[in-house]
Chains A and B, each alone.
Chain A
Amino acid sequence: MARILIKDLVKTFGGFTAVSGINLDVRDGEFLILVGPSGCGKTTTLNMISGLQSPTSGQIIIGNTVVNDFEPGERGLGMVFQDLALFPHMTVFENIAFGLRVKKVAEKEVRERVSAAAAAVHIEPLLAKLPRECSGGESQRVALARTIVTNPSVFLMDEPLSSLDAKLRVDMRTELKGLHKRLKATFVYVTHDQAEAMTMADRIVVMSKGRIEQVGTPLEIYNRPATQFVAGFFGMPTMNFLEGTVEVNGSGRCFRAAGLEQPLPDAVPAAVADRKVVLGVRAEHVLVGNGGALRGTAQLTEPLGDMTLVYFDYGQKSPLVAKVGPATPLQPGTPLSFGFAAERCHLFDAGSGARLF
């Protein structure tokens, strides 16, 4: 049983609060990804789960045991580090065998288990090599084999793919997901890469400034971001944000900002009327052409192959971005009409950033 329960976890360094009272329930067998910008407290949280750092206050419960005072090696965890942390003076075999040797496992069993772990990640031919003789992807697999050989019930991963090139990273994402399915263990994974989080996680925990902003499935996070921060952090390109107010006329709702008016669905609560709000709309929900009521001028186009990003000016200081088809005739300077898909607009409180609709 490898459920992890985190209760009111706090970590301070001198006067700086890295993690400020988070609560989290990691389900058994779940692939949970902690994501957020640098310094948001995600690695500190992972280090506290692993035992490499002690919490200032709060509890960490693995299974049914409070493990706050357990040594890292006593918690039944495996961890893959950002720099992989392979022992440079040991062969791949010895690297993988290290954990077993520490636990004084019999030599015959060590050989069997190392071979099995190496086979699981397809690195059998590397066993006699030194880590420096392995490529980036191979080193990654060695680090994984070294972790799985001890059969931990929880895998902790601290940005393990960050040192790989883009293509290899995508390949390794698939492999990690496959590994999670095979092992059925609990994975807690830290990254600042939203694509990794979206593609691999069962659930995502978005963190900012030591707090949890939102916990949810990748699609929940993407489609119903709980805060403006989450909305801005997920999605490429970044969501368009416009400051303004909502007017409520009977059953009709309308968002007004400088140089712009956008009807909103009736479901928008009347309580948001006359409040300062931020309207968020993703680039794919900005509808260019189609007789949109608003006018703008294309400034820059970025063809991505399967689509093109159009940055356009609509008379205000920051431009908007829209996703259009790959064969768009739009060129910088071309006038265009646009509108927003009303059902896909998000409203956030301009002060707190909390989701209003």
Chain B
Amino acid sequence: MATIATMSPEQARARRLRRERRARALRHVILLAWTGFIVFPIFWMVSTSFKDSGEWISWPPHWLPHAPTLHNYAQIFAFSKIDPTLSRQATEQAFSIWKGLGDAVLVCTTASLLALLLGTFLAYSISRFKVGGKHFRHTILTIRMIPPIVVAIAILMYYAILIPYASTSLLGIRVSLFDTYVGLILIYTATTVPFVIWMMLTFIEEVPYTLEHAARLMGAGRITVIRRIVLPLVASGMVVTFLFVFILNWSEFLLALTLTHPEVTTLTVLLNKFQSASEGRLYGPQAAIGTMITIPVVILGVLIQKHLVKGFSFGTIRK
């Protein structure tokens, strides 16, 4: 018979508790360090957005503004020509975010909805009709692996030169997608559809075939089956996917920079323009605009938290 270790049960218990405490402490230290690493830039951005220009790059750094001001926000939310008191660091540029905000909301919402609609139906057909064969889903995702820089210039050529040239020669009217809402929406839709297909495939495949079979046997056509059975069951997934794609579009910079301006200006492009001849980069208004860009994403996230958890956890459809 094997001998039991010499320590008493109390000692063993104390040792176990000691080990658990140590592991817990270590876990917390690592998590806190990681949180600090992630949160610091956001804190710095928010803090800077309330600093006056003198404090932006002061040394030693001012962690919190010594003289908090809403000046930066007043500047980015200005509706008209900038008040002389506000424009002291600025050139004649009106640093209003309204145009950028409007454009970003319009482009990102439309493109995300379009991608969601197209991607969901494509995912349905890939799942149910095996469109494209067994490995099609992977092929689709690899399309998205191409870095945007590779296609940006090619798309620019199409938008600014080839399409206008072709339309002029063939139809006699000049059609250009460069610096247009349609152009940017199209490219955003195209680049995010693979993600939508990939994500929606996971959700749609959670819906058992037999539900659709049952509905069809009761006389429902394909469209009714999709509308009344499939879509309600993947609604959470659609919300999650929309949010994911919206955030991708909302933070996209390279394509917007290449294919637009000055007519269409998204927030990320606008953010890049905050410079003045006299003071260089305008960190204050940039921080304020950065904060404003972040807020909708956070609000959206909080609002749909329930769906996010449901969407990412799956397993809610099968009983």
Chain A residues at the B interface, C-beta cutoff of 8 Å: 50-52, 71-74, 77-79, 81-83, 85-89, 98-99, 102-103, 131-132, 139, 146, 150
Cα separation A111 to B218 with both chains bound (whole Å):
17
| Selected contact of A52 from candidates B208, B217, B228, CB within 8 Å | B217
- Given A85-B213, A87-B211, does the pair A73, B229 have CB atoms closer than 8 Å? no
| Selected contact of A72 from candidates B211, B213, B316, CB within 8 Å | B213
Interface size class of B (residues with CB under 8 A): 20 to 34
Chain B residues at the A interface, C-beta cutoff of 8 Å: 208, 210-211, 213-221, 224, 228-229, 232-233, 316-319
**Residues of A contacting B316 with CB < 8 Å?**
88
Asked whether, in the complex, the Cβ of A81 is within 8 Å of the Cβ of B219, the reply is no
Cα separation A74 to B217 with both chains bound (whole Å):
8
| Selected contact of A131 from candidates B221, B228, B319, CB within 8 Å | B319
**Residues of A contacting B224 with CB < 8 Å?**
102
Shortest B227–chain A CB gap in Å is 11
Shortest A113–chain B CB gap in Å is 13
| Selected contact of B233 from candidates A50, A74, A89, A132, CB within 8 Å | A89
- Could you list some 18 contacts between A and B, CB below 8 A? A50-B213, A52-B216, A52-B217, A71-B216, A72-B216, A73-B216, A73-B218, A78-B217, A79-B217, A81-B214, A85-B210, A87-B215, A88-B233, A88-B316, A88-B319, A98-B228, A102-B215, A103-B219
B contacts with A: majority SS: helix
Cα separation A89 to B210 with both chains bound (whole Å):
15
**Residues of B contacting A139 with CB < 8 Å?**
319
Residue ID in chain B nearest A86 by CB atoms: B319
Asked whether, in the complex, the Cβ of A83 is within 8 Å of the Cβ of B210, the reply is yes
**Residues of B contacting A150 with CB < 8 Å?**
218
Asked whether, in the complex, the Cβ of B213 is within 8 Å of the Cβ of A52, the reply is yes
Cα separation A71 to B224 with both chains bound (whole Å):
14
Shortest B219–chain A CB gap in Å is 3
**Residues of B contacting A99 with CB < 8 Å?**
218-219
Shortest A43–chain B CB gap in Å is 11
Kindly count the residue-residue contacts between A and B in the assembled complex, taking CB atoms under 8 Å apart: 64
Asked whether, in the complex, the Cβ of B213 is within 8 Å of the Cβ of A102, the reply is no
Residue ID in chain B nearest A98 by CB atoms: B218
Residue ID in chain A nearest B213 by CB atoms: A52
Asked whether, in the complex, the Cβ of A83 is within 8 Å of the Cβ of B218, the reply is no
**Residues of B contacting A78 with CB < 8 Å?**
217
Determine which residue in A51, A74, A89, A150 has the highest number of CB atoms from chain B within 10 A of its CB, and name it: A89
Cα separation A220 to B19 with both chains bound (whole Å):
70
- Given A89-B233, A131-B319, does the pair A82, B216 have CB atoms closer than 8 Å? no
Determine which residue in A52, A78, A82 has the highest number of CB atoms from chain B within 10 A of its CB, and name it: A52
Asked whether, in the complex, the Cβ of A89 is within 8 Å of the Cβ of B218, the reply is no
Cα separation A71 to B220 with both chains bound (whole Å):
10
Report the 6 A-B pairs with minimum CB-CB distance, sorted nearest first.
A73-B219, A99-B218, A85-B210, A85-B214, A81-B210, A102-B219
**Residues of A contacting B228 with CB < 8 Å?**
98
**Residues of A contacting B217 with CB < 8 Å?**
50-52, 72-73, 77-79
**Residues of A contacting B232 with CB < 8 Å?**
89
Cα separation A86 to B229 with both chains bound (whole Å):
10
Shortest B212–chain A CB gap in Å is 9
Shortest B130–chain A CB gap in Å is 12
Shortest A89–chain B CB gap in Å is 5
Shortest A30–chain B CB gap in Å is 20
